[in-house]
Amino acid sequence: MTSTPAPKTILLVSGLSGAGKTTALKTLEDMGWEVVDNLPLVLLDRLLDTPLPAGHSDADERPLAIGIDARTRGFDANAIVRRIKALREKHGHDVETLFLDCSGSELERRFAETRRRHPLALDRPAADGISRERELTEPLRRWASQVIDTTAFSSNALQQEIRNRYTRERLSDPVLTILSFGFSRGMPRNADLMFDMRYLRNPHWDDALRPKTGLDPDVAAYIARDPAYEDTVSRIEALLATLLPRYAEGGKTYITVAFGCTGGRHRSVHVAERVARYLQDAGFSPTVSHRNMESAPQDALEKRRPGGPKAQS
């Protein structure tokens, strides 16, 4: 017996060539949507009926964005409208339609700038293809749940508009990593923000603390007694609480915040853990990684003992 597929969230993305459909679909994909472009309409049922891979449940179902334009095989705007009604009424799917519009003069400028031919006017002026496509897609534009006029939009502005309209729960949240590392063992290449913790007192030069790490309470207490500690770390936390949402709004998929000290075992580890707890309490979902915490302590890497001669390298 064939089970009835669970209702899906579906967004049909259409519009005029050059108006930004590719940008919109790419942004949705980055936000966690499953994206299919230029799918022949005869294959739509097969796509919707395809079960999830083994081991996945309906809870794993991602929203689906389908790109359709006048180049799609079997394109018929009126037939698409009828299909949308059927998906809603007969199958219970949550279906929306987004139509990307743009002025003819701006579309002509874009085609001239990119030196692309309009797909419906390969041997004629772009204006002819724009006019023909506007006529073909007009029923779909009238039916669309949302219309975005991209005439005055840059690519980045369109991306932001798509994120604002179609963010779903936490699917679009960037992957946030809080990293600790040792400068003496090389700086990380993928850090978006980097903070140097070498201004704090160094537990390495306390014989009882040297073999321990920033995860140990007595190491944490030693670092926290530095007069500069509380004020500076609190300022870093407040700065991140301000910056991270702006990075998310800008569409960053991965954000790495790195904290470094000399060896990467004490100060950077402790501060990374503290900041991660602060961000978690503030509603973020950070992952903590300690790159050099398990490395053996070495006096030569620490360079100088406080009040003593420079360490031998």
For residues 144, 149, 153, 159, the Cα torsion angle rounded to the nearest 10 degrees is: -10
> Are 216 and 265 contacting, i.e. CB atoms less than 8 angstroms apart?
no
Query: Annotated binding site for ATP: which residue ranges?
Result: 15-22
Query: Annotated binding site for GTP: which residue ranges?
Result: 69-72
Query: Annotated binding site: which residue ranges?
Result: 15-22, 69-72
> Residue for token digits 């580890």?
269
Q: Which helix (H) or strand (E) holds 245?
A: helix 229-249
CA dist., res. 191 & res. 254, Å (int): 10
Helix, strand or coil, per DSSP, at residue 197: coil
> Residue for token digits 């992957």?
175
Give the Cβ contact number of residue 80 at 10 Å: 22
**Positive or negative: CA dihedral 5, 11, 16, 20:** negative
**170-174 long-range CB contacts below 8 Å, 24 or more apart?**
170/285, 171/31, 171/32, 171/33, 171/62, 171/63, 172/30, 172/31, 172/32, 172/248, 173/248, 173/285, 174/244, 174/247, 174/248, 174/252, 174/253, 174/254, 174/255
